[in-house]
Structure formats: structure tokens, C-alpha cells
Amino acid sequence: MLTNYLSLLVLLGCSFDVVRAAVTVYGQQPLGMTLTSDSGPMPTKAAYNRTVLIPPPPPQPPSTAFGISLQPTADRVTGLSVRQSGTFYGFSIEMSVVNQVLGKNSSFIQVPFLNLMGQLQHRAGAVHIRCGGNTQEFATYIEHLDHDAAIAKERANLQNPTQTPAVLYTMDLFYIFSNISSLVNVKWFLGIPFNDTQNWRLQIAEYGQRILGDNLLGLQAGNEPDLYASHNHRPATYGPFDYFGEFGDLVQTMANNPNIPVKNNLIGPSIATGDWIPEQVWDTNYIEAYKDYLSILTVEHYPNNNCFAQFGGSGSLKIPQEEFVKYLNHTAGVDLVRPYLNSTRIAQDYGKPFMMFETNTASCGGFPGISDTFGATLWALDYGYQMAQSNFTGALLHVGGQNVFYNPFTAPPTNQSAFHQWTLGSVFYSVLVMTETFGKTNQSQILDLNANNGNIHTPGYVIYDEGRLSKVALFNYITDPSGASNYTATISVGGGETGSPNSTPAQVKVKYLTSDSVATKDTIKWANQTFGGDFEVNGHLKGDLNIVTIDCNQQENTCQIPVPAPGFALVFFGEPYQDTSDITFSSTAFTKLMNTATVDPAVLATSNGMSAKEREKIGSTSFGSMDSGATRSYGFVSASLVAAAGLFSALLLWT
């Protein structure tokens, strides 16, 4: 019995040490449940799919050395982007899955989620999350739902393209958002349902503004309106001028609604760039007409789709192995961004931010063997940098349910949350690196270096921060275990030109993002640290941080940076972000939470393998003790071991 108990704790991963070191959470009685007989098989849903594809062969001959010549200050560089923030990459969470990802209700928030967002906040200052997607369009406010749930799904709506069911939500949804924002600095985008523009349902705007205040960044007005006609949500004749008109109706309706005090934070047009191009919307005079109400101009786009495999219908089956190569070079991001270059210019002319409001590897769930691999990590990072250098001001990676392959993070299935931790998607690492690339100053500018004569397998970017050379980002998309495709980039700063003396530093620091292959997902490491494999993620990085110091040759004006194949290097001319364990939040709510949280050992003991209904009967009255000796119950900790496990880690990291 004791063995079973220990294996339960071991399954909680690194929490075990934490539990042992800092918190006493259990009585002396052995547990009555066994893991092996009750835990059942690992879930087989898409988010945990194990497909491994074959990486493309290395190009021949390999290109293993090239130079990069840089200016020490931004004023000597033409074509740098607008000023960017570490919050550039955020998330778009499908409304129908918020209860899986964020928490069941406002007093039951997923701690692994908080920890993951905390990681990003520490690096970027904040995290931007949109709650919406296809399901926002039919979302309907309701006073009360069974079991005090914050959200519930109606039966599937067959007219809905991705077959996501209509969502019912209560006031508690807003408290989930605001409670999260009181713990980690998450700012929210919400969306106004647009399925019925004769009978507006504006509770999202009313309650969102009232409850979230400044934590509400904006309200999306229409989701992918260019697909309304083809998805049978509007007549076949529906065009950009119809959307223009509906947007105007919304502006008018909001103007007359005293419960929506902020009138100027609308977001649009969020076209999928499927049936329309942005210029068709700009040509309706949209920006000029609504510039006093629009706070952000947006588009949405996925480079590919896996709809046939998921839903059948017209189109054709795509073979993941054949699609894989499309994600594994620099052309992917460049091609994705090109259709928007005119629009980012126009947005600048109007002084408006321009965001990619929803994107990921492929719509209809992504691809097995692609969407969750290191290849996707490199793809999303390069794509993000490419958007940033092209004057997008942000982008949101979509989070679907457990039936999609591309999630940046996935909670375990509800009935397995007792013994499984979270699963990270490989694109989460792209977001993590992005936060460190742009940091907290809001003054980063980036430029594609067209490195190695524009070789599509070895792109690079330079980043200036507050006008000074800050970082270089170097990609190697090639998988080549022989090592023959490793390359060395030789960086020179200044020198040669009049007025730009040799300013190569004595040394630089490098963080590497690595994996065995672009096809794998289990070996991804950032500066030698990992969040862990499937069902192992509690939101903390594991392993010893390894920042490599490279000595430069100041006589010759060179810094030689090796980049493995595959791999990515972020070269810091200043001090890199360093994880510290004495992180604190200013939030008093969180402090209070930490000091008072206790966990019921009965919950730890018995939640394994039980049905949700059975689990509901188990109280959350707490006993056990913390090292402080305080023993008080707190509503936050309830019958979820995953929350409990994460909380222990949070206690360690955040106290």
C-alpha cells in the first residue's frame, strides 16, 4: 500500500520533492486505492498522439559557415520593425474549452496553467489571452448552470464548421478571468457573439468591462466574417460591405448601451484570409469609418488544414509525411506574412496595432507528427519573428480541446486529472523563447538578416532593444545526426565602416533550443531545461539551466556561434534572462492564497480512478499541515489532485 502511495506521488513528478520538503499533506494512514488497477490506459486523444514522421534529408552540400555583420545601434539600420513587446505571442483559447484549460469555476483554477502563465509573465511582464474562436459566435449568457459550472456546451451545432458546440456561460466565467488576472498578469481579449446582429447579445461586453476593467484588452467584433457565407451563417451574397454594415450596427448599439462604458476597444475585421483578402475590407472605408472605435486591426490565418481527415466533406486527404516539409524552412513564415505587408503598413499609417488573432500549424486540429514536434517549435518561432519584423504587433496561438494536435498546453482528461499532469505542445517553447527575445521593455525592434545568402534552412534575425544591439536569433532547420549540417555563424559588430568602429564584445552568452530531430517532441530543451513529457508538466522548468558563454576575438572582430542541426541559438549581447526561484507576485490575493492553502489528504488518497460524481462527494475541508503550521482551509483547493500538486510547486517557487 505504501508503495502505491509513493508511486502516486512519483507520478506527480517533481512535486514529490516539494511535498516532502515543504508541506505535509497526508496523514499516516496508507492509502486505500491502487494506481495500477484503476488508472486505466493513457488517453489516446490527438493532444497526446505519438506519431513520429521522418525528417527531410539534409540538403547537399551542407552550408556550414557564414558571416553576419551587424551595426551596434538601431539608428544605423534601415527596415527595423516597429517596437515590440515580450507579450508578442499570446494564446487564443477556444471558448468551449476554457473550463478544461483555465478551471471549472472561479474558485477552482488550474494551477499548472497559472504556473505556465507565470513563466511567461516573469519574462514578458504579462500574457495576452483571447477567449473565443468559432464558439464565441453562438455563446449565450445564462443565469445559472448545473453544478455551478461557469460554462457548458449545448448539443453540437451542425452548421458550425469545426463542429464545436454552442457555449452557454454564466457570470462565473468573468470571475475565472478576473481571478486569474489577480494571480498572474494575464490580460484578456473577448469576442462579441456575431451570429445574430439583429438581436445583439452584449453581456460579454457589459460584464467583461464591469468585472475585468483594465484587464480586458479588447472585444472582437466578428470572427472570420469572410467565412460566414461559406459556413452558412449568412446568405451566400454576404460580402465585405455587409460586414461593414453589421460592424456599424454594433457601434451604434454599444453607443446607446450605458452598461458598456468603453466604446473604443473593438477589434476587427479578423478575416480568415480565406474568402476575402484584407484589402477588400479596407476598401469599404472600414478603418477610416471606425477608427475611433477600433483599437486593434486583426486577421486570422492557418497555413494549412486537416479538415478532410477530421470531418470528411469536400477537399482531399492530406498525408502528414508529405505536409511536414512545408513547415521546415524559412519560406513558410515568409509566405504566411507576405499577404499582410500592405496591411501592416496601413495599420502603421493609422497608428493601430495589427495582430494575427488566431493561428497555428493547421486548422481542423493540426497534423499528427507535425503540430507537436520540434519542427513546429522552429516553425512557430520563425513565423513569429517574421510577423514581428513585418510589423505585426502580436499573434495568438490557438488552443483547442484534447481532440487537436496543436495545443500549446493541454490539461489531462477530467477523469485522469488525479494522476496525470499536463501535456505541453511544442509551440509553447516558441512562445517562451519569444518572451525572452523581446523581454519587458516594449522597445525591441527586429529584422530578418537574410542570413547565409537567404538559405531557407538557416535563417537569422537581429534584435535591437532601446536602440542598442541586443540579440541575434539563429535557426538550423536541418536534422542531421552526423553533425555535418551543424553550422557556425561568425558575428562581427561594427568595424570597417566610417564612424562604426569595431565593437565586438569580449564575449556573448547563448541559450540553445534543441532536440534530437525536428520530428520528435520529447527531447525539446531550452538552455538545457524542459517542462517534461506528456502528462508530466506542472508548469516548472526541470533540469539545470545552461547558458553558454562564447569568447569573441576582439582583434579579428568575430564571435563564432555554433548552431546544431537541428537547433536554434539566441545570442545575447547583454545579460540573458535567468530563472530565479525567488519570484514573487505583487498580488496580495496570491500571497493570501499561498499562506492559507492546505490540501485534504483524503482528496489525494481517493480521487484516483473515481468518477467525477463520486469525487464530488469528497469534501474539500482540509487537514494536513504546512511547514508554517497553519491549518486553514481555502476554497481554491478542492477535489483535484492536479491542482493540489501544482499548488505545492507554486508554494515552493513563489514563496
Residues within the interface to ligand NAG (CB under 6 A): 39-40, 44, 49-51, 56, 79, 81-82, 85, 104-108, 125, 138, 140, 148, 166, 172, 175, 178-179, 182, 195-196, 279, 282-283, 325-326, 329, 331-332, 335, 341-342, 344, 346, 348, 368, 390-391, 413, 415-416, 440-442, 456, 483, 486, 528, 543-544, 546, 564, 589, 609, 638-639
> Which residue is closest to ligand NAG by CB?
483
Give the H/E segment covering residue 81. Answer: none
Nearer to ligand NAG, 26 or 177 (CB): 177
What is the distance between the alpha carbons of residues 638 and 633, in angstroms, rounded to a whole number?
10
Q: Residue type for 437, please?
A: T
Q: Which residues contact 526 (CB under 8 A, 6 or more apart)?
A: 429, 432, 433, 511, 512, 513, 541
What is the distance between the alpha carbons of residues 646 and 655, in angstroms, rounded to a whole number?
14
What is the distance between the alpha carbons of residues 324 and 367, in angstroms, rounded to a whole number?
9
We find the least distance from the C-beta atom of residue 423 to ligand NAG, in angstroms, to be 13
Nearer to ligand NAG, 104 or 511 (CB): 104
Nearer to ligand NAG, 3 or 232 (CB): 232
Nearer to ligand NAG, 165 or 624 (CB): 165
Nearer to ligand NAG, 203 or 557 (CB): 203
Q: Of the candidates 121, 111, 118, which has an alpha carbon nearest to the alpha carbon of residue 649?
A: 111
Q: Of the candidates 422, 436, 306, 297, which has an alpha carbon nearest to the alpha carbon of residue 370?
A: 306
We find the least distance from the C-beta atom of residue 617 to ligand NAG, in angstroms, to be 10
What is the distance between the alpha carbons of residues 324 and 632, in angstroms, rounded to a whole number?
53
Nearer to ligand NAG, 383 or 504 (CB): 383
The angle at the Cα of 501, spanning 500 to 507, to the nearest 5 degrees, equals 115
What's the length of the chain?
655
Q: Of the candidates 597, 634, 510, 472, which has an alpha carbon nearest to the alpha carbon of residue 67?
A: 472
* Spatial strand order in the sheet of 559-563: 65-70, 487-493, 559-563
Grid coordinates of 55: 525528417
Nearer to ligand NAG, 166 or 642 (CB): 166
We find the least distance from the C-beta atom of residue 379 to ligand NAG, in angstroms, to be 9
We find the least distance from the C-beta atom of residue 2 to ligand NAG, in angstroms, to be 22
Nearer to ligand NAG, 330 or 398 (CB): 330
DSSP 162-191: T-PPPEEE-THHHHHHHHHHHHS-EEEEEE
Q: Of the candidates 118, 55, 70, 21, which has an alpha carbon nearest to the alpha carbon of residue 464?
A: 70
We find the least distance from the C-beta atom of residue 344 to ligand NAG, in angstroms, to be 6
Nearer to ligand NAG, 365 or 408 (CB): 365
Nearer to ligand NAG, 305 or 557 (CB): 305
Nearer to ligand NAG, 331 or 655 (CB): 331
We find the least distance from the C-beta atom of residue 645 to ligand NAG, in angstroms, to be 15
Q: Of the candidates 581, 578, 545, 579, which has an alpha carbon nearest to the alpha carbon of residue 654?
A: 581
What is the distance between the alpha carbons of residues 112 and 95, in angstroms, rounded to a whole number?
19
Give the H/E segment covering residue 389. Answer: helix 374-389
Nearer to ligand NAG, 133 or 609 (CB): 609
We find the least distance from the C-beta atom of residue 371 to ligand NAG, in angstroms, to be 11
Nearer to ligand NAG, 461 or 504 (CB): 461
Burial label for 510, CB within 10 Å (0-12, 13-18, 19+), is buried
We find the least distance from the C-beta atom of residue 456 to ligand NAG, in angstroms, to be 6
DSSP secondary structure code for residue 150 in this structure: S
Instruction: Kindly report the three-state secondary structure assignment for every residue of 594-636.
Output: HHHCCCCHHHHHHCCCCCHHHHHHCCCCCCCEECCCCCCCCCC
We find the least distance from the C-beta atom of residue 469 to ligand NAG, in angstroms, to be 17
We find the least distance from the C-beta atom of residue 284 to ligand NAG, in angstroms, to be 9
Give the N- to C-terminal CA distance of the chain in Å, as an integer.
33
From residue 224, alpha-carbon distances to 88, 269, 339, 454, 510 in Å are: 21, 8, 16, 34, 40
What is the distance between the alpha carbons of residues 504 and 494, in angstroms, rounded to a whole number?
7
We find the least distance from the C-beta atom of residue 592 to ligand NAG, in angstroms, to be 8
Place of cell 472561479: 106
We find the least distance from the C-beta atom of residue 279 to ligand NAG, in angstroms, to be 3
Residue 601 and residue 25 in contact, taking contact as beta carbons nearer than 8 Å:
yes
Q: Which residues contact 20 (CB under 8 A, 6 or more apart)?
A: none
Nearer to ligand NAG, 178 or 265 (CB): 178
Q: Residue type for 483, please?
A: G
We find the least distance from the C-beta atom of residue 555 to ligand NAG, in angstroms, to be 25
We find the least distance from the C-beta atom of residue 502 to ligand NAG, in angstroms, to be 27
We find the least distance from the C-beta atom of residue 613 to ligand NAG, in angstroms, to be 11
Nearer to ligand NAG, 503 or 529 (CB): 529
